[in-house]
């Protein structure tokens, strides 16, 4: 499972950003075809998808993350519904391609959000997004072993058989020289 340091690295956030940019394209190219209320609502709901993913990502607890991912799903569904409601109107025919693209990206966001939420629900992280029990010990043991190995590799003498190995050179900061 990939780990991400920033929400901008999340594929689902990137897809949500793509969604909002398609909404902006729709409004810039065909905004006059829609009522002011429709324009305002699709703009707000479209932006809400990426914002809720970002806000949930930076929350402390798993429950908060799931709540905000749920909000993001709701906003993506709202945008998808708005497109579906007007899809058959003759007046919007020039915007049909963008509306269909928006619906497809909404569907992609929904699938990714659902998968992420399912993964969180069945994963080892609970509460304040800390690993529990065995997983915590495994991670700690791995970190301690890696630190010990790095310390060992830095301390070996030039006459040791591993001294010039790529791993030892990297540990001493000599890699790529």
The predicted model scores a pTM of 0.70
Q: What is the mean pLDDT of residues 129-145?
A: 71
Per-residue pLDDT at 131 exceeds 70:
no
Contact 41, 108 (CB under 8 A): no
Short-list 147, 174, 152, CA closest to 162 = 152
7-129 in CATH: which number?
1.20.1440.60
Per-residue pLDDT at 23 exceeds 70:
yes
Rounded to whole angstroms, how far apart are CA atoms 46 and 51? 9
């Amino acid at each position: 499972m990939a780990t991400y340091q920033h929400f901008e690295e999340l594929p689902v956030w990137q897809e949500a950003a793509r969604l909002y940019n398609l909404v902006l394209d729709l409004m810039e190219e065909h905004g006059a075809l829609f009522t002011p209320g429709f324009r305002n609502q699709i703009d707000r709901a479209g932006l809400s998808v990426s914002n809720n993913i970002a806000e949930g990502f930076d929350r402390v607890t798993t429950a908060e993350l799931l709540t905000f991912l749920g909000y993001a799903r709701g906003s993506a569904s709202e945008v998808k519904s708005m497109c579906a409601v007007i899809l058959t109107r003759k007046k919007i025919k020039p915007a049909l391609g963008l509306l269909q693209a928006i619906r497809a990206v909404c569907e992609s966001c929904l699938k990714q959000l659902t998968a992420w939420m399912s993964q969180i629900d069945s994963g080892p992280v609970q509460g304040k997004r800390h690993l529990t029990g065995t997983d915590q010990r495994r991670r700690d043991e791995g970190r301690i072993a890696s630190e010990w190995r790095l310390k060992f590799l830095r301390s070996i003498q030039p006459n040791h058989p591993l001294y010039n190995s790529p791993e030892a050179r990297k540990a001493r900061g000599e890699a790529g020289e």
